[in-house]
Each structure stands twice: as structure tokens, then as C-alpha cells.
Amino acid sequence: MEPLFEILVSAVLLSSMYVLAAAGFALVLSIMNILNFAHGAIYMVGGFLCYEFSVGYGLNQWLALALSAASMALFGLFLERFLFRRFYGDFFSSVIVSIAVIFVLQTTINLTVAVNVRALPTFAPGMLHLGSVTVSMERLVTAAIGVALLAAMVVFVRVSRTGQQMLAVAQDAEGAALQGIRIHRLAAIAMAAGCAMAAIAGSFMGAVFDLNSTMGDLILVKVMQVVILSGIGSLGGILIGGLVIGSVDSILPLFTTPAITQAVGVAIVIALLLVKPQGLFGREMG
């Protein structure tokens, strides 16, 4: 039977990867109060872009990663300016807009790039030996980047002036506007950052796992589980949310059927929503 330590390590690694995927989503939700369903699709496109830049055009993979993040950041600016800005505060319209974006992105990828099987070459080859456990470098690097990005995001929001303004907007948008805070500029920054992080996540996951046009749908559900669990408005808290969902997903399948694993993951989130809708660390949403 698998040594306990190895199971725990794999749980932590998967959890951090979920955190990486969820970071951008949490930022946009907590600041703009927008449920960006298209997050999964953007994550997927980011992964494919990284592939095209690196394998297609022969650039260095880290450079391709940066280019992909930059491209999706620009896309995020476009989304915010022309689509989400109009519907700031209108939950229903932003849902419809996100759905439309998903359809366009998925269909375009399907018709152009997704034809053949793709996986990004590894960002960090090799294995690391921690005592009795062997861990793949790329999973470690991905996990580390996930935690690092989250930490950077939390620090930025707490420390920088822009970040403080974002917090103010998240608490009370009208009040913040009255104080002269330019909401739209902040929303644009948040959206660009969120999309860039999604692209980075998609690229790393595309190397650890694989790239396909529907990977966004799968990850969106996981991301929502993580974010809802930690609570809307909480950024650092997604570390804990990620840990819970990641542990369920990596430990339970070893002992029980996949269907039960999924049911448990869902039950945990529903139970929390019933007892404490704000999540473990979140604030009440308006």
C-alpha cells in the first residue's frame, strides 16, 4: 500500500495546481463581483497559444508562456472594455456574455488548432527525490508557481495602492467611486491579470496533463468548487479551498469509486454553502 507521505505529497501538488487555476478567477470575482464563466475557456486558449508560440514558432517555452499570458491579458482588457464593463453589476447579462465568449473560443480552437493531439513539452524535466518519495519536477514547479502567484496577488492587493483601491471597490463600489477611485481602470487591471493567470495555469497544466478544447469546462467546475469553498472575497483563502478539493481528488480515488469521489467533492461544497454561504474566509456578497 502506498506510503502515507507519498499520498500527501501528491495531494498537496494537485491542490496547488488547482490554486494556480483558481487564482485568476478568484481575483475577478472578488474585485469585480463578476462570475467569469469564460475563465475555463481562457485557460484553455492560453495553453494552446503557449503551444503554438513554442512548438509552432520555435520560441523558448518560457518566452512563449510570457507571450501567451500577455496575449490573454490583452484579451482580458478587450473583454472588460467592450463586454463586461457595460454589465457591471448585472449578473444575468454577464453570465450570458461569458457563455457567448466560451462558445466563440471553443469553436475557434476546435476548428483551427485542436485537430491533433497536443501536450506542451515539459517546463521542467526530471525528478526530485525527497527521501522515499519521487516527485516530478514539473509538478513541483507548477505547484510552486501556483502558490507564488497567489502570494504575489495577496501581497499586491494588501500593500499596493491599486490593490487597496481594489479592496475598496470590492467592499462598496459606489462609495469607492464617490471617493474618486476609477473603477473601470481597476476592473481592467483585474481582468487583465485574471486572464493572464488563467493563461499561465493553462500552459502549465497543458504540460503536466494535456491540451484539449474541453479542458476548460473541467477546470471551471474545480475552480468554482475551490473559490466557493474558500469564499468570495477571499484571495489567500483559496489555498485552503484548493487543499480540500485537491485532497479529495487525489486521495479518495485510491479507496473508492470515481463516482463517489465526485459526489463527495460536490457534497462538501453544498454543505458549506448551506451552513456558511460566505465560505470559509469570504465576505457577504451584496
Partner 1 sequence: MNRKEFLQSLSAGLAAGAFVLPNKVLAQGKTKTIRIGFLAALTGFASSSERIHLQGGELARDWINSHGGIKIKGETYMVELVPEDHKSTAEGAVSGATRLVHDKGVKYIAGTIMPFTVAAVTTVTEPAGVLRSVGYNAGTPQEFSAKTPYTFLSQNGTIGAIISGMRWLKGKFPETKTISVLIPDDGSIQHLAPHVRKWAEANGMSIKGDIVGWPLDTVDFTPFALKAANLGPDAVAMVNGWPGMVGSVLKALRKSGFAKPVIGMHYLQVEDVLEVAGAEASTNYYVHGLMLNDPELPERIKWILETGTKKYGHKGLAFWVEGFDPVYTIAQAIGKAQSLDPDAIRKAWEQMDTIDTAYGTSKIGGRETYGLRHAVVGPRSIAGLERGKPTAMGWVRDIVVP
Partner 2 sequence: MTNTNRAILCVCVIVVLVIVPLLIESPYTFRLFILTFVYVTAAASLRTLALSGQVSMGHAAFMSIGAYTSALLARYGDFSPWLTMPMGGLAAMIVAVLVGFPFARVRTIYFSMVSLFFGIGVLSVYSIFGKYTGHINGLIGIPPLFAGARLPYYYYFLALMVACLAVLWRFEKCRIGTCLKAINQSHVVAASVGISEVKFRVLALAMSCFVVGLVGAGYAHYNMVISYSAFDLPASINLLVYMLVGGISSFAGPIIGAAVLFVVPELFRDLKEYTPYLYAGILLFVVFAMPEGLVGIPDRLGSWLKSKHR
Q: Within positions 83 to 142, which residues make up the interface with partner 2, using CB under 8 A?
A: 86-87, 91-93, 95-97, 99-101, 103-104, 106-107, 110-111
Of residues 2, 106, 9, 123, the one with CA closest to residue 55? 123
Dihedral, 79, 80, 85, 87 alpha carbons, nearest 10: 50
Q: Is 116 in the site for partner 1 (CB under 8 A)?
A: yes
140 contacts 14 by C-beta, under 8 angstroms: no
Q: What 8-state DSSP symbol labels residue 87? A: G
H or E segment and range at residue 28: helix 4-32
Between 172 and 210, name the residue whose CB sits nearer to partner 1.
Answer: 210
Whole-angstrom distance, CA of residue 98 vs CA of residue 104:
10
Instruction: Look at residue 10 and give the partner it binds from partner 2, partner 1, none, a contact being a CB closer than 5 to 8 Å depending on partner kind.
Output: partner 1
Amino acid at 123: F
Instruction: Look at residue 96 and give the partner it binds from partner 1, partner 2, none, a contact being a CB closer than 5 to 8 Å depending on partner kind.
Output: partner 2
Between 115 and 285, name the residue whose CB sits nearer to partner 1.
Answer: 115
Between 155 and 270, name the residue whose CB sits nearer to partner 2.
Answer: 270
Whole-angstrom distance, CA of residue 46 vs CA of residue 198:
7
Q: Is 210 in the site for partner 1 (CB under 8 A)?
A: yes
Q: Within positions 227 to 286, which residues make up the interface with partner 2, using CB under 8 A?
A: 228, 232, 257-260, 262-263, 266-267, 269-270, 273-274, 277, 285
Q: Across-strand partners of 127?
A: 136
Whole-angstrom distance, CA of residue 153 vs CA of residue 104:
29
Select from 121-129, 156-164, 171-179, 269-277 the region that touches partner 1 (CB under 8 A): 121-129
Whole-angstrom distance, CA of residue 120 vs CA of residue 203:
7
**Residue of the chain from 221, 251, 252, 280 that contacts partner 2 (CB under 8 A):** 221
Q: Is 249 in the site for partner 1 (CB under 8 A)?
A: yes
Q: Is 152 in the site for partner 1 (CB under 8 A)?
A: no
116 contacts 107 by C-beta, under 8 angstroms: no
* Residue ranges in contact with partner 1 by CB under 8 A: 1-2, 10, 14, 17, 107, 110, 114-119, 121-122, 125, 127, 134, 136, 205, 209-214, 217-219, 222, 249-251, 253-254, 257-259, 261-262
